[in-house]
Amino acid sequence: GAGVSQTPSNKVTEKGKYVELRCDPISGHTALYWYRQSLGQGPEFLIYFQGTGAADDSGLPNDRFFAVRPEGSVSTLKIQRTERGDSAVYLCASSLTGFRLAGEDTQYFGPGTRLTVL
């Protein structure tokens, strides 16, 4: 079946601009996660959605970052007044439930959006 998809695959923007990154999770997955991966590092958690609500947004670096998931499926990560330090690969993942008692509940990752801020 279809996996997690993300658009665009690459985004180049100028410092100070606004960007939106989109994630389409696996159908039926209620849990959705955003991570950010810098070159040579492991992914770092940004935000977790359970259905439509943000269950944990403690990884968002500052108030320039915001994410929504209005219908409990597609999610959009929004970055205002982009800075060069925001350049990274933004990864989206989804899992069936996000709950501990759900067994393995593997997080499946999308291909990522490579954001470059000039």
Nearer to other proteins, 41 or 80 (CB): 41
CB of 96 to other proteins, least distance (A): 11
Cα separation, 19 vs 80, in Å, equals: 7
Minimum separation from the CB atom of position 88 to other proteins (A): 14
Nearer to other proteins by C-beta: 28 or 42?
Answer: 42
Give the closest residue to 17 by CA, choosing from 61, 59, 64. Answer: 64
Strand partners, 57: none
Q: Are 43 and 36 in contact, with CB atoms under 8 Å apart?
A: yes
Q: Minimal distance in Å, beta carbon 104 to other proteins?
A: 4
- Asked if residue 115 lies in contact with residue 90, where contact means CB atoms within 8 angstroms, the answer is yes
Helix (H, G, I), strand (E, B) or coil at 22: strand
In the bound state with other proteins, the residue whose beta carbon lies nearer, of 9 and 80, is: 9
Write out the residues near other proteins by the rule CB under 8 A: 31, 33, 35, 40-45, 48, 55-56, 58-59, 91, 93, 95, 98-100, 103-112
Asked if 29 contacts 95 with a C-beta cutoff of 8 angstroms, the reply is yes
Residue (5 or 13) nearer to other proteins, CB:
5
Minimum Å distance from CB 51 to other proteins? Answer: 13
